Chain A
Amino acid sequence: MTVPEPISLTEQMLRRRPVIGAPVAHGAGQDLKRTIGVLQLTMFGVGATVGTGIFFVLSQAVPKAGPSVIISFLIAGLAAGLAAICYAELASAVPVSGSTYSYAYTTLGEVMAMVVAACLLLEYGVSTAAVAVGWSQYVNKLLDNFMGFSLPAALSGAPWDADPGIINLPAMVLVGLCALLLIRGASESAKVNTVMVFIKLSVLLMFAVIAFTAFKSDRFAEFAPFGVGGIGAAAGTIFFSYIGLDAVSTAGDEVKDPQRTMPRAIIAALLTVTSVYLLVAFAAIGAQDWPEFDDQKAGLATILDKVTGAQYWGTVLAAGAVISIFSVTLVTLYGQTRILFAMGRDGLLPKMFAKVDPRSMTPVNNTIVVAIIVALMAGFVPLDYLADLVSIGTLTAFIVVAVGVILLRRREPDLPRGFRVPGYPVTPVLAILACAYILFSLRWYTWLAFALWVSVALTFYFLWGRHNSALNRPIASEAPVPGVDIIDPPRDLS
């Protein structure tokens, strides 16, 4: 119950969040039922991944690499898969459940947790905005095909877009709707997730099958117009569409026999996602000359219209995209609010982020703040800027995770881990190299924006966070309120 001694800045930056009161992860909790098998886990991975980017990433990536974008897909997939495996080990070694932020806080210390949090704001917050912009394109396409009108560019494009508008209204509306659902405590069930996976995969396969009817091998003649540099740059953009593969690893504590199940599920999800992406990319490039991809709106549906000369199939695809991107937006927006919630609880963000509204029993203030910022980004920032920012943030977070795996193996080799990376130390090192390769091919202004953003986050930490961190207070403040009983039976997921 003693107040901690004043500590130096370095100690402060490196202090780690102790594991207290956190829900027990890995094998330690007896009351947790381990119920998730390979199939269910693979569904999580595919459900979280497909739909983030594939519906619109080709319009950004193909102009950078030409037909060789197919190799970019392989590189991005490799990096994401290696990182996901590292994720699984870190998640199983750290007895807290949560996001990369919680893992970083318990293993790498406070300042790295803050850097990771800055990255995660890009991986979740900015990606929600990017996904919402893509949704708006497909909504417009659907409106056009169904009713013969579409929103004018002024209301469906960002001011600095290639086709400049004033505001992207549908994207903002989508973010608002999702926020409303989250405030009301709505969530997507495992069943809905499975249904979404089937919708996404069916429309993508439908696209591939139809697009192959217009396949011309000539279109691959000029395979890599921008050389290796182009492939790397496109991989950076494409990486966006692999985000979510790490979802597999966060469920580690519920997985039956993780050492066996985890890598199988990650590889199964990765293979499913990569093959579908490759099919889509291969079919799309075979059906349309690569320069035509440049800034195409609602790309896949438009290609179908062109291939079939009718709107029917394009409409089906647009409808599938609208439904599944909606669910992706809901899930990523949710993820963002819960990461900020954890930070508010830890005192690295104002307490308001961890405040729960008595009526809805959800973090309402938090959700509103996140929704407003994400909606503003969705409404006013063009898609390609958003997508690259998401990639750089996610890649950095992935590298931190891989480094974390190596550090933890050296520091605490005997720590029980539910899952150990196969092929250590090659796997984490390869993950770092693959992510770093993609990172360095991103454009300079993406780097600049990222550096600025991380320094803003760190400045906030040095000026505010480190003084308000919950670790500054004695642990006793976690103790129950005197005179009030909290009756909280052990929970197991059923």
Chain B
Amino acid sequence: MTVLVGYLAGKSSRAPLQLAVAAARTLKTSLTVATIVPKPWAFPSPAKVDGEFAAWADQVAADSGREAQRELEALGVPVEVQYLSHAHRSVSGGMIEVANEVGAELLVLGSSSNGQLGQVVLGSSADRLLHSSPIPVLIAPRGYRNPRGGILTRITCGYPGTPEAVDLVRRVEAIAQRLEIPMRVAVFAVLGRTMYPPEVSLHAEEAVLTEWEKQAAETLAQLRTDGVVGEDVLLQVVSGHDWGEALDDAEWEDGEILALGTSPRVGIAQVFLGTRGSKIMRVSPVPVLVLPG
């Protein structure tokens, strides 16, 4: 059991390493830093470009290992770390092979550098990994830094309120127990857009939202009645004008992570977020944990 994080010299930021360290410490397990390098050609070339290519790949791997090591030593956290490199045609495919080899229980990734600071934005490799990872994937917002206590402090389950998602709550609870941190189950809700011209007042959607908040609260209370979650689990319905505001209104602790489920309609053993899931992920102020379906 280990926490796996991908790192590439010159490309990856510090954020995923910092998050991975916190996760490994919380899980009391080791950290594996993997660099995926391109696979060399199988046939030798007379111009020796294959040799040059292989040498370049080795160089990238060595550089990445060194850089990651420097970063981690700078953090000065007592975590057992192993560095390895793996050749594969795609980053996502390589990470999954490594995950299987080392028996990783969690895969940590960074956000794309296209996103704004503090936002969770999927790059192309992360996007592919979400669709194919057999283990939970934890994505760091851009610019994420190690929480003050050095460990994760709470896990929030983003619960859509559908009956199928009860299973998600159970799985997040199991993860919370494994991490030995408290858990919160939250239903996020947004106000519908006002219809113009306003034939039944400009506030018709507020009535719908209020009713949905009530229904969602009942669903959450039912989770407790059914014994899906314990008495100590915090249950919340949080709403706003848009997803950003709703996520903002939920109080977040330093070291908290947000767990999202996958769309029940897609694939077995595959991670795939629903449209709402991806909207919530984009505005999440904390790292997002995506569970495979």
| A356 CA to B192 CA, complexed, in Å | 12
Listed residue (B207, B209, B249, B276) with the most chain A CB atoms within 10 angstroms of its CB = B207
How close is A165's CB to chain B, nearest CB, in angstroms? Answer: 30
| A485 CA to B218 CA, complexed, in Å | 11
Asked if B235 and A483 make an inter-chain contact with CB atoms under 8 angstroms apart, the answer reads yes
Known interface pairs A45-B197, A358-B160; A489-B235 also in contact (CB < 8 Å)? no
| A361 CA to B279 CA, complexed, in Å | 14
Pick the residue among B206, B216, B274, B276 that contacts A23 (CB under 8 A): B206
Nearest chain-B residue to A182 (Cβ)?
B195
Asked if B193 and A185 make an inter-chain contact with CB atoms under 8 angstroms apart, the answer reads yes
Asked if B192 and A187 make an inter-chain contact with CB atoms under 8 angstroms apart, the answer reads yes
Nearest chain-B residue to A190 (Cβ)?
B196
Could you say which of A231-239, A244-252, A436-444 contacts chain B? Answer: A244-252
Interface positions, chain B 147-162, Cβ under 8 Å from A, are: 160-162
Interface positions, chain B 80-100, Cβ under 8 Å from A, are: none
Asked if A481 and B207 make an inter-chain contact with CB atoms under 8 angstroms apart, the answer reads no
Interface positions, chain B 232-259, Cβ under 8 Å from A, are: 234-241, 245, 249-250
Pick the residue among A43, A186, A330, A361 that contacts B189 (CB under 8 A): A361
Pick the residue among B201, B220, B238, B240 that contacts A97 (CB under 8 A): B201
Pick the residue among A23, A250, A356, A484 that contacts B220 (CB under 8 A): A484
Residues of chain A contacted by B206 (CB below 8 angstroms): 23, 491
Nearest chain-B residue to A485 (Cβ)?
B236
Known interface pairs A485-B237, A487-B250; A187-B193 also in contact (CB < 8 Å)? yes
Asked if A247 and B198 make an inter-chain contact with CB atoms under 8 angstroms apart, the answer reads yes
For residue A189, CB closer than 8 A to chain B, the reply is yes
Asked if B196 and A98 make an inter-chain contact with CB atoms under 8 angstroms apart, the answer reads no
Known interface pairs A251-B202, A484-B221; A193-B211 also in contact (CB < 8 Å)? no
How close is B189's CB to chain A, nearest CB, in angstroms? Answer: 6
Residues of chain A contacted by B212 (CB below 8 angstroms): 356, 361
For residue B190, CB closer than 8 A to chain A, the reply is yes
Asked if A358 and B235 make an inter-chain contact with CB atoms under 8 angstroms apart, the answer reads no
Pick the residue among A185, A331, A342, A484 that contacts B235 (CB under 8 A): A484
Asked if B197 and A193 make an inter-chain contact with CB atoms under 8 angstroms apart, the answer reads yes
Asked if A339 and B200 make an inter-chain contact with CB atoms under 8 angstroms apart, the answer reads yes
How close is A330's CB to chain B, nearest CB, in angstroms? Answer: 8
| A489 CA to B237 CA, complexed, in Å | 11
Interface positions, chain A 154-213, Cβ under 8 Å from B, are: 185-190, 192-193
For residue B194, CB closer than 8 A to chain A, the reply is yes
Asked if A486 and B217 make an inter-chain contact with CB atoms under 8 angstroms apart, the answer reads yes
| A331 CA to B274 CA, complexed, in Å | 28
Residues of chain B contacted by A253 (CB below 8 angstroms): 201-203
Residues of chain B contacted by A186 (CB below 8 angstroms): 193
| A252 CA to B138 CA, complexed, in Å | 48
How close is A34's CB to chain B, nearest CB, in angstroms? Answer: 12
Residues of chain B contacted by A47 (CB below 8 angstroms): 196-197
Known interface pairs A23-B207, A483-B235; A189-B202 also in contact (CB < 8 Å)? no
Nearest chain-A residue to B189 (Cβ)?
A361
How close is A363's CB to chain B, nearest CB, in angstroms? Answer: 6
Residues of chain A contacted by B235 (CB below 8 angstroms): 483-485
**Interface readout for A45-76 with B: 1 if CB under 8 Å, 0 if not?**
10110000000000000000000000000000
Interface positions, chain A 249-273, Cβ under 8 Å from B, are: 250-251, 253-254
Pick the residue among B160, B208, B237, B241 that contacts A484 (CB under 8 A): B237
For residue B210, CB closer than 8 A to chain A, the reply is yes
Asked if A491 and B241 make an inter-chain contact with CB atoms under 8 angstroms apart, the answer reads yes
Pick the residue among A91, A188, A339, A480 that contacts B217 (CB under 8 A): A480
| A359 CA to B265 CA, complexed, in Å | 12
Asked if A48 and B239 make an inter-chain contact with CB atoms under 8 angstroms apart, the answer reads no
Residues of chain B contacted by A332 (CB below 8 angstroms): 199
Asked if A250 and B201 make an inter-chain contact with CB atoms under 8 angstroms apart, the answer reads yes
For residue B191, CB closer than 8 A to chain A, the reply is yes
Asked if A483 and B224 make an inter-chain contact with CB atoms under 8 angstroms apart, the answer reads yes
For residue A306, CB closer than 8 A to chain B, the reply is no
Nearest chain-B residue to A336 (Cβ)?
B200
Pick the residue among B192, B198, B224, B236 that contacts A361 (CB under 8 A): B192
For residue B214, CB closer than 8 A to chain A, the reply is yes
How close is B69's CB to chain A, nearest CB, in angstroms? Answer: 43
For residue A335, CB closer than 8 A to chain B, the reply is yes
For residue B266, CB closer than 8 A to chain A, the reply is no
How close is A33's CB to chain B, nearest CB, in angstroms? Answer: 11
Pick the residue among A193, A338, A354, A482 that contacts B196 (CB under 8 A): A193
Asked if B196 and A192 make an inter-chain contact with CB atoms under 8 angstroms apart, the answer reads yes
Residues of chain A contacted by B161 (CB below 8 angstroms): 358
Known interface pairs A481-B217, A486-B217; A361-B195 also in contact (CB < 8 Å)? no
Known interface pairs A192-B196, A481-B217; A338-B240 also in contact (CB < 8 Å)? no
Residues of chain A contacted by B221 (CB below 8 angstroms): 481-484
Known interface pairs A44-B197, A487-B237, A491-B241; A341-B208 also in contact (CB < 8 Å)? yes
**Interface readout for A355-381 with B: 1 if CB under 8 Å, 0 if not?**
110110111000000000000000000
How close is A350's CB to chain B, nearest CB, in angstroms? Answer: 14
Asked if B201 and A251 make an inter-chain contact with CB atoms under 8 angstroms apart, the answer reads yes
How close is A353's CB to chain B, nearest CB, in angstroms? Answer: 10
For residue A488, CB closer than 8 A to chain B, the reply is yes
Known interface pairs A47-B196, A48-B197, A480-B217; A359-B160 also in contact (CB < 8 Å)? yes
| A186 CA to B201 CA, complexed, in Å | 17
Residues of chain B contacted by A363 (CB below 8 angstroms): 208
Nearest chain-A residue to B184 (Cβ)?
A485
**Interface readout for A425-465 with B: 1 if CB under 8 Å, 0 if not?**
00000000000000000000000000000000000000000
Residues of chain A contacted by B241 (CB below 8 angstroms): 491, 494
Interface positions, chain B 126-153, Cβ under 8 Å from A, are: none
Chosen A-B contacts, 9 in total, with CB atoms closer than 8 Å, are A23-B207, A25-B203, A97-B204, A187-B192, A246-B199, A330-B195, A361-B208, A483-B224, A487-B250
| Known pairs A334-B199, A484-B237, A491-B241 / 12 extra A-B pairs, C-beta < 8 Å | A22-B207, A23-B207, A185-B193, A247-B199, A251-B198, A334-B195, A335-B200, A339-B200, A359-B162, A484-B217, A484-B220, A491-B206
In the complex, the 3 A-B pairs of residues with the closest C-beta atoms, listed nearest first: A358-B161, A48-B197, A481-B217
